[in-house]
Structure 1
Amino acid sequence: MLRRSFVSISALISLILLESSFTPTLAKPVRDPDETVGCEILIVGGGLAGVATAYESLMAGRTVCMTEITDWIGGQVSAQGTSALDEADKQRSLSYYPNGYQELRSNIQRYYGRANPGDCWVSDTCFIPADGYRLLAMKLEKAAKAGRGTLKWFPSTVIKELEMSEDGKIIEGAIAIQHKSATNAPLNSEPLSKTIEDTYRYEDSPRLIKKIIRFEALNERESEGADWYVVEATETGEIVALADVPYRLGLDPRSYLNPSSPTESGDPYCTQGFTYTFAMEQTATPQPQQMPSFYRQYEPYYGYDSDRDKALFEYVFTYRRIWSPQKGKPMRIDGLWIDRPNPGDISMQNWIWGNDYRPGTAKDNLIYTREQLKATGQLAAGGWMGGLRTDALRKAEELSLGFYYWLVAGRTDSQLGYGVKQPHPNHRLLSGLNSPMGTAHGLSKYPYIREARRIIGRPSVGYEEGFSINEIDISAKDYWGSEYRNNLPASMYRNLWKAITHLESLTHPTRSPYQFTKRTRSTVYPDALGVAHYAIDFHPCMTFSPPEAPGNREREGVRQAHGRSYPAQIPLRAMIPQKIDNLLVAGKSIAASNIAAAAYRVHSFEWSVGAAAGTTAAFALEKGIYPYQLVDELPGIEPQLQELRRRLQGNGNPTEFPTTPLPSQDWQESKR
């Protein structure tokens, strides 16, 4: 099924950018566009949220433009290499997903002839990233035919500038740069850190040839409403930053809404770790393994697990095994039965004490804050360069290649000390353009991003400072216990219980306030357009810079919020930014606190919020209204909002879980 070509580890190392840089070189002023393209819906970002947006928009018969910085759609399941579907146990057991996402899962099973071709144990569905891309590309092609929509797909394309109306409320145009190789070396020959700044420059370079594209509305409306809609579906919230709408980044200040936050003032530099995944294959014989020149710098970070019973190579290899042509002999690890790996098995690596890069200071953070963007000139006209620290990307690439070497040849362990880890040389790193990751170097085309810039929604009743989904809206934590009673300021603790009592009374109106001792469900939203369910799951930033420094540790307190969450909803208000009326936000940039976002970040959520964005944009174009007009009278009755929700449900996109408005014990006891 797979054709593979390989390059040596020494060749991979030579591709990594060794120079550090903070301030990106700004692009020259724009030349005249080479092409003008009309759209009804412009989707910026081709990850799962972007694909789901496109899918529903095409099924609604719309003309859709979609840009993506890589040449693969699919994000987590393809270009980011995390092709092991993160799903809550109960939701998975009921197959309670949006129709498009459920079709993807079914298509994977039909393609391989089995649901879990990798026989991994973290998920019921682990597969090859390159196949994820192929399956999604076919899916959008079929959607365009079925819905009589038009898809204009722009791979290897980034948005450089936005053209705003005079009053700043409407995006009237978007200037993009599409690139292709200027040499015989194809794209994906070099890691992202070597090419990303070039992709955001207007001028051609020895590496890349550029095409300047202007996106605009396909038609001008004579009636009310926007001529077109722009959907933010990037992995880091690029359009949120470029449009300069209000947003948050990193840790939120501790409050009665987010009582588990470890900081009183917030910290925009402490975001969740990001990961360059890679695929490795078990071989029948030992393979030559070359130590990267930078290995010793990162060696102090690598480790299996603090639980010695799980400190086995087989445990890590099968965790996200994405291809297993034949079953191995069963083995038991700490109560878990797995099939022992065989030659030919392929594992995708995404391990917290391995290739998770977790910077947490102003010296090394990946996603620039607004202040850093201003300081580097990226908010000036023509200055946008993607909003990421290139040096953090480079070091994450090195960390990942070093982790491969540690797995096959290392003996140290940051969690358990020397002597536990043993070499496993019967493996090779899969690289080459026909490899699972589709890159010459073997790393994913783009890192797996767990946290993005998060918008602050518009003020509304009960949300005077702007709408947001918060910790207490979804968490199953015991706030009645001493952990919170003794450690929160008295006034904050009183306000916490006042808020919980109010939220619980909405679904238990006959109970006395004194009967509420815990949250029994997530918050019910009248404007819910989708569903999400996953644990509040953290990969915390490290305390000091650099994150790989010997003896470094996770930021204290971040994991306090880690744990179970209730099945939750995706409200439309979380998708509508302030200031701009024809911009919708999908993906990880919805209005949510840092803690809530830790649950609203996995595969099925991205599809659900994308389906909501695509349906809402198409509905708004049809009705001649703006999305904010669907919620501006809440908590009053909004007839058109109810019509939109019925349309989503009729298309197989649930807006609530089966137990709404009251939860069942089954959902409460779900592991995730």
Structure 2
Amino acid sequence: MPATGLRVTGLRADILVLGGGLGGIAATLAALRLGRRVVLAEALDWLGGQLTAQGVPFDEHPWIELGVGSQSYATLRQRIRDYYRRHYPLSEQARAASLLNPGMGNVGTLCHEPRVAVRVIDDLLAPFESNRRLAVLRRHALVSAERDGDRITGVTLRDLASGRHVAVEAAIVIDASETGELLEAGGVEHVFGAEAARETGELHALTEADPFDQQSLTWCFALDYLPEQDHTIDRPARYAEFRDLKLDFWPNRQFDWTVSDHVTHKPLQRALFTGDSDADYLFDLWHARRIAWRRNFAPGFYESDITIANWPQMDYWLKPAIGVTEAEHAAALEEARQFSLSFLYWMQTEAPRHDGGQGYRGLRLRGDVLGTNDGLAKQVYYREGRRLRAELTVLEQHIGVAARPGASAAQSFPDSVGIGAYRIDLHPSTSRLRDTVDIDSYPFEIPLGALLPVRVDNLLPGCKNLGTTRITSGAYRVHPVEWSIGEASGTLAAFALAHGIPPRAVRADPGRLAALQQLLVDGGAPIRWPSFGALTPRTRRGYRPGQP
């Protein structure tokens, strides 16, 4: 892994990117390729966010393998496949597969081990670190932001290894953090939780706004399965309490193989296994996010398949995590960890088996796969955070099928700077404890107006913290969309600096807007959906039905 960056008390850059998730990486690469100097700061030691530190394999639209989308994102995916071909003992059949799927998970066509993506991302950044146009500050957390009127002039970070404070000054700052940390620290107008229908006019909004109605968290973990062994963990202290929890809208206790179908809300059977072999399974949990399929590799290379546990039974909805005190945030995260461990313990000891027994004691935590000692991911899976109050807010009426009667596509934005596709997918929520909202949406665009704060001149969002509502955030939060948001913001920041103007001045000038859009297209970032085939509204996880 490359060095953690410069160990100095002060840094200057053209652009500061706070957050090393996929949006932050895309923003950084876009700005670097346009000649800017960048500081990238991340509180964890791994870059990659939801793809790596949170342990969430790619969630993508059905046309991803046709090359529809950002070419730099396609490069990331191809390099992951190339890494396996160079370094892993693939089977002859796997090596010959043009669309290699190392785990053969049915969530998508590229399910892989998180550490492979970490290494690929490090390699993408390494040349820019070598020529000192990029400083990557791993394990550096945000302390504060300094402001001068409507500008953020710099931030203070804390080196989590040494405790030293590092001041970073930058002309433009991009908040690519998982929860929109810089929006709050910089006093940037933002919202979190659920808006009211009377405010947004959305079909699926709440009657009354509730900032603490937030999507459930999930603390993912990696597992393999050695049926002849016993890897039962210690019984979590609150196991009985968590095991017996039941949501009013859930068919049984949450720790059960019967869940609420995301779309229909009818009872749905989702067991860990539905048979003893790959030929037996019918979209069971084990195969959903499997990241290593032993038959793709040389005999004996893996003792077992490896899968990522990110399933409905693990959704943690007891406490909100955004907009609360630091102590309340820490308490919610710790409960989410214990909730996941309790579900694992239930699977190991009490769960009904597919063969009629009870408990899968051979389930083994694989913390090494996620870079941890305790077996869980480095970071909780945040499905939402703070969202920018922007010049334009994406509404359900812009992209939702039911909210656009008579339309056959999402609204096209004159200021589009990217494209994306995913269903509007909201998991069970805190506060109101309502069931999922999982509804059809059309392939959509990313409007420049959603990247521009209503007031602050030099801050841009770099991921799911752009100007969406709680409803539309459910479509803009997944991997390729996050990448495209970051790529657009990084390109916009470099363009604005090159012309000596604030980012909002680009949208206000038709000539400059056209030049920015052409710059994106020339760089391989499409701003309109291609006209081919039938782009159906059912954009979510086009490789399998249903959950999770």
Q: How does the TM-score come out when normalised to structure 1? A: 0.69
> How far did 1:288 drift?
3.7
Does residue 1:571 correspond to 2:447, yes or no?
Answer: yes
Partner of 1:287: 230
The partner residue of 2:59 within 66, 86, 89 is: 86
List per-residue Cα deviations over 1:130-189 (Å, max 9, x = no partner): 1211111101224667xx771100011112111111xx1111121111111xxxxxxxxx
Q: 1:212 to 1:46 in 2, by over 3 A?
A: same
List per-residue Cα deviations over 1:393-449 (Å, max 9, x = no partner): 110010111122122222379xxxxx9883112221113xxx111011111111111
Secondary structure, counterpart of 1:396 in structure 2: helix
Q: Where does 1:228-627 land on structure 2 (aligned, <5 Å)?
A: 228-255=171-198, 257-289=200-232, 290-300=234-244, 301-306=254-259, 307=267, 309-314=269-274, 315-326=284-295, 343-353=303-313, 355-359=314-318, 364-368=319-323, 372=324, 389-411=329-351, 422-431=358-367, 435-458=368-391, 467-477=392-402, 479=403, 517-542=405-430, 554-555=433-434, 559=437, 562-627=438-503
1:257–1:472 contact (8 Å) kept in structure 2: no
* Matched residue type, 1:36: G
Secondary structure, counterpart of 2:160 in structure 1: strand
Does residue 1:108 correspond to 2:80, yes or no?
Answer: yes
> How far did 1:292 drift?
2.2
Measure the CA separation in 2 of the matches of 1:669 and 1:592. 20
* Matched residue type, 2:159: Q
Partner of 1:27: none
Q: CA RMSD in A?
A: 2.5
Rg larger in structure: 1
Secondary structure, counterpart of 1:274 in structure 2: coil
1:475–1:565 contact (8 Å) kept in structure 2: yes
> How far did 1:565 drift?
0.8
Q: How many residues align?
A: 492
Does residue 1:657 correspond to 2:509, yes or no?
Answer: no
Secondary structure, counterpart of 2:150 in structure 1: coil
Measure the CA separation in 1 of the matches of 2:128 and 2:292. 28
Q: 1:143 to 1:325 in 2, by over 3 A?
A: farther
Secondary structure, counterpart of 2:410 in structure 1: coil
Secondary structure, counterpart of 2:494 in structure 1: helix
Q: 1:310 to 1:404 in 2, by over 3 A?
A: closer
Q: 1:286 to 1:643 in 2, by over 3 A?
A: same
1:59–1:149 contact (8 Å) kept in structure 2: no
Q: How does the TM-score come out when normalised to structure 2? A: 0.84
1:46–1:234 contact (8 Å) kept in structure 2: yes
Deviates more, 1:528-537 or 1:422-431: 422-431
* Matched residue type, 1:76: Q
Q: 1:410 to 1:262 in 2, by over 3 A?
A: farther
The partner residue of 1:178 within 159, 170, 173 is: 159
* Matched residue type, 2:375: G
Measure the CA separation in 2 of the matches of 1:327 and 1:162. 48
> How far did 1:526 drift?
1.2
List per-residue Cα deviations over 1:370-405 (Å, max 9, x = no partner): xx5xxx5xxxxxxxx5x9611001100101111221
Secondary structure, counterpart of 1:587 in structure 2: coil
Q: 1:671 to 1:157 in 2, by over 3 A?
A: closer
Identity of aligned residues (%): 30
2:289–2:308 contact (8 Å) kept in structure 1: yes
Structure 1: which 5+ runs fail to align? Answer: 1-32, 181-208, 218-227, 329-341, 377-384, 414-418, 459-466, 480-499, 501-516, 545-553
Structure 2: which 5+ runs fail to align? Answer: 1-6, 86-93, 95-99, 245-253, 260-266, 275-283, 542-548
List per-residue Cα deviations over 1:287-336 (Å, max 9, x = no partner): 141322321121123222335554343511111111112169xxxxxxxx
1:453–1:589 contact (8 Å) kept in structure 2: yes
List per-residue Cα deviations over 1:597-649 (Å, max 9, x = no partner): 1000000001101110111111111111111011235xxxx101111110111
2:58–2:479 contact (8 Å) kept in structure 1: yes
1:276–1:444 contact (8 Å) kept in structure 2: yes
Measure the CA separation in 1 of the matches of 2:528 and 2:340. 39
Secondary structure, counterpart of 1:476 in structure 2: coil
* Matched residue type, 1:131: V
Secondary structure, counterpart of 2:348 in structure 1: helix
Measure the CA separation in 2 of the matches of 1:211 and 1:128. 33
